[in-house]
Amino acid sequence: MAGRENFHRETLAVSAGRPAHYPDAPLNEPVVFASAFGAGGELEYARYNHPNSRAFEETLGALEGGHALAFASGMAATAAVIDLVPNGGRVVVPRHSYLGTIALLHSAQNAGRLSVTEVDILDTAAVVAALPGAALAWLESPTNPALEVADLPTLLAAAHAAGVRSVVDNTFATPVLQRPLEWGADIVMHSATKSLAGHSDVVLGALVVRDEELHAELATRRKLLGGIAGPMELYLALRGLRTLSLRVERASANAAELVRRFGSHPALAEVRYPDFGSIVAFVFADADRAERFIAALELWRHATSLGGVESTLERRRRHPGESLSIPEGLVRLSVGIEHVDDLAVDLQRALDSV
Ligand code: PLP
């Protein structure tokens, strides 16, 4: 049999993170409800290490091409990365990063912990110019919810050349569509709550790195800050990861087809789609029209979050923390894996009604 390093990612998603093979061994890592393990082994205590964490991490690590660490949420993973920034350090971040990331950085800046330079991620030259002297380049592409696509290979090379640690929030693209470690990113971050787990039933985060020393530093942050994931969440997220490729392929095909069908609907001022992935933005002229469109839908569910098997959507500016440069009428659609015709019938009726 071919060595594991030769397996395709679809195969790794299914085969990694399995318990040892012996007669009557369970095929999946069972959910282990234990806070402590017999002394003298590798696990010791569930805040240090855990069998369900290991199984999830082995699989995600294989998909991203690095070593993964699971966290209680995407924000817990983000907090561990930001905790590595030395006091007084400067962080470069896209203006349209996920609102929680921006809020956490601003709160650290307000406390005098670090300083923040916000950049327009589409202006590659300006981002590169902001890098020298920074401690961390936080990158997100495509951005949530503006759907801007950064020139990641150029930005990551520039960060490396400037000696700036780089992290890419890869939540929207997933390792099926984009693997930033291969472009030289130091850290990949995920809200595994979204497409990785994929069924809108867990909150979970992850970091993936290649460098052993950085892995150890982040594992220490997790241990000391305590943002560990629970066994049930890890089990469910790993179950989701097994079908990631299938789900991303189907949801992306659905998204592209819906953009093709509705891209020039007269009710829409603009449709944003990065040409890959399952997230689309319909931009209406104002908040009122956007809200009426949402209320008219029957199959699509009005809910925050994204990346589930079911199609959901929301007007992002309903959140007070959302950037004021996101249009009031922007509705973020997370396209699921239903039949595209059923999704389209619902959209058509709702768009025609506003
Ligand atoms: N990054 C992105 C792009 C997100 O969409 C989210 C959540 O919406 C997060 C980070 C935060 O992740 P979590 O909600 O799992 O803490």
For 244-267, what is each residue's pLDDT tens digit?
999 999 999 999 999 999 999 999
What does the pLDDT read at residue 21?
94
Q: What is the pLDDT of residues 39-96, one digit of tens each?
A: 999 999 999 999 999 999 999 999 999 999 999 999 999 999 999 999 999 999 999 9
Q: Is 290 buried (19+), middle (13-18) or exposed (0-12) by CB count in 10 A?
A: buried
Task: Write the pLDDT tens digit of every residue in 146-158.
Answer: 999 999 999 999 9
Nearest CA to ligand 1 atom 12: 74
Q: In whole angstroms, give the CA distance from residue 21 to residue 117.
A: 50
Assign 1 a pLDDT band (cuts: 50, 70, 90): very low
Task: Say yes or no: CB of residue 144 within 6 Å of ligand 1.
Answer: yes
Question: 38 CA to middle of ligand 1, Å?
Answer: 35
Residue with tokens 């592409």: 141
Complete DSSP assignment for 47-62: TT--HHHHHHHHHHHH
Q: How far apart are CA 258 and CA 339, in angstroms?
A: 11
Q: What is the pLDDT of residue 4?
A: 74
Q: Please tell me the distance between residue 75's alpha carbon and the centre of ligand 1 in angstroms.
A: 6
H or E stretch including 103?
helix 99-110
How many CA atoms, within 13 angstroms, populate the side-chain half-sphere of residue 335? 28
3 state SS of 124: helix
Q: How far apart are the first and last CA of the chain?
A: 58
**What secondary structure letter does DSSP report for 277?**
S
Q: Indicate which residue's Cα is closest to atom 7 of ligand 1.
A: 191
Note the pLDDT of residue 3: 64
Q: Which atom of ligand 1 is nearest to the CA of 203?
A: 15
DSSP 171-213: TTTHHHH--GGGGT-SEEEEETTTTTT-SS----EEEEES-HH
pLDDT of residue 203 exceeding 50, the answer is yes
Q: Which of 102, 193, 203, 314 to mutate to test the pocket of ligand 1 (most atoms within 8 A of CB)?
A: 193
Arithmetic mean of pLDDT, 178-205? 98
Q: Give the C-alpha separation, 267 to 64, whole Å.
A: 39
Ligand 1 pocket check for 100: Cβ under 6 Å: yes
**Cα 40 to middle of ligand 1, angstroms:** 36
- Classify residue 285 by its DSSP letter: S
Q: What secondary structure does DSSP assign to 203-251, as a single string?
A: --EEEEES-HHHHHHHHHHHHHH--PPPHHHHHHHHHHHHTHHHHHHHH
Ligand 1 centroid distance, CA of 192 (Å): 8
Judge if the beta carbon of residue 174 lies within 6 A of ligand 1: no
Span 3-15, average pLDDT: 90
Indicate which atom in ligand 1 lies nearest the CA of residue 171: 3
pTM of the model: 0.97
Does ligand 1 have an atom closer than 6 angstroms to the CB of 240? no
Average pLDDT over residues 210-224: 98
What tens digit of pLDDT does each residue of 227-243 get? 999 999 999 999 999 99
* Phi (first) and psi of residue 105, to 5 degrees: -65, -40
**Ligand 1 in reach of 188 Cβ (< 6 A):** no
- Model confidence pLDDT, tens digit, residues 272-315: 999 999 999 999 999 999 999 999 999 999 999 999 999 999 99
